[in-house]
């Protein structure tokens, strides 16, 4: 009986995942895309801004190309990773999008918009610096 319940749970999870990934329509996601912060590399800002415009116009492939170019210009730009994740979700590339959401979250701890991205919704937002001994702003050097 326990084995059958386990198989039932696995089947339900598989159906839920396939249902969301296999639909012709885009997954239900928030509409927010993010501008680059002040002080960001000029080329990255340009491509991120062009990506925002394309995203707002529903031009997903164009937006994708611009956000990818923004990441090439500034690989540590959390907002561009987040924005690329949004576009990839729109295009149905959920696992690739999730990887960019996670990269964005790692680059921007404490950013509530980024931490509310589809794969991270419901995960508690960490502090900007860890309060655990030996983690975060400590003076450890090599």
Residues found in the chain: 142
- Model pLDDT, residue 32: 87
- Model pLDDT, residue 127: 65
Instruction: In whole angstroms, give the CA distance from residue 35 to residue 2.
Output: 50
- Model pLDDT, residue 133: 45
- Model pLDDT, residue 93: 96
Alpha helices for the chain (secondary structure H): 2-22, 42-56, 60-73, 78-90, 94-107, 112-115
- Model pLDDT, residue 12: 36
Instruction: In whole angstroms, give the CA distance from residue 65 to residue 134.
Output: 40
Axis crossing angle, helix 78-90 with helix 42-56, rounded to the nearest 10: 30
Residue ranges in the chain whose pLDDT is less than 50: 1-27, 130-142
- Model pLDDT, residue 118: 84
Instruction: In whole angstroms, give the CA distance from residue 119 to residue 126.
Output: 16
Domains of the chain (ranges plus CATH)?
42-121 (1.25.40.10)
pTM of the model: 0.68
> In the 8-state DSSP scheme, what is residue 107?
H
Tokens 């960001």: give the residue. 40
Q: In degrees, to the nearest 5, what angle opens at C-alpha 134 toward C-alphas 132 and 40?
A: 85
Q: What is the 3-state secondary structure (H, E, C) of 82-101?
A: HHHHHHHHHCCCHHHHHHHH
């Amino acid at each position: 009986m326990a084995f059958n319940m386990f198989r039932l749970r696995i089947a339900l999870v598989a159906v839920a995942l396939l249902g969301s990934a296999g639909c012709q329509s885009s997954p239900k996601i928030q509409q927010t895309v993010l501008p680059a912060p002040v002080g960001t590399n000029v080329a990255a800002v340009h491509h991120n801004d062009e990506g925002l415009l394309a995203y707002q116009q529903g031009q997903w492939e164009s937006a994708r190309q611009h956000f990818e170019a923004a990441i090439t210009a500034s690989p540590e730009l959390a907002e561009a990773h987040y924005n690329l994740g949004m576009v990839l979700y729109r295009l149905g590339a959920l696992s690739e999008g999730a990887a960019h959401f996670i990269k964005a979250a790692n680059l921007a701890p404490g950013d509530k918009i980024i931490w509310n991205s589809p794969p991270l919704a419901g995960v508690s937002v960490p502090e900007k610096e860890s309060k655990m001994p030996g983690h975060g702003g400590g003076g450890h050097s090599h």
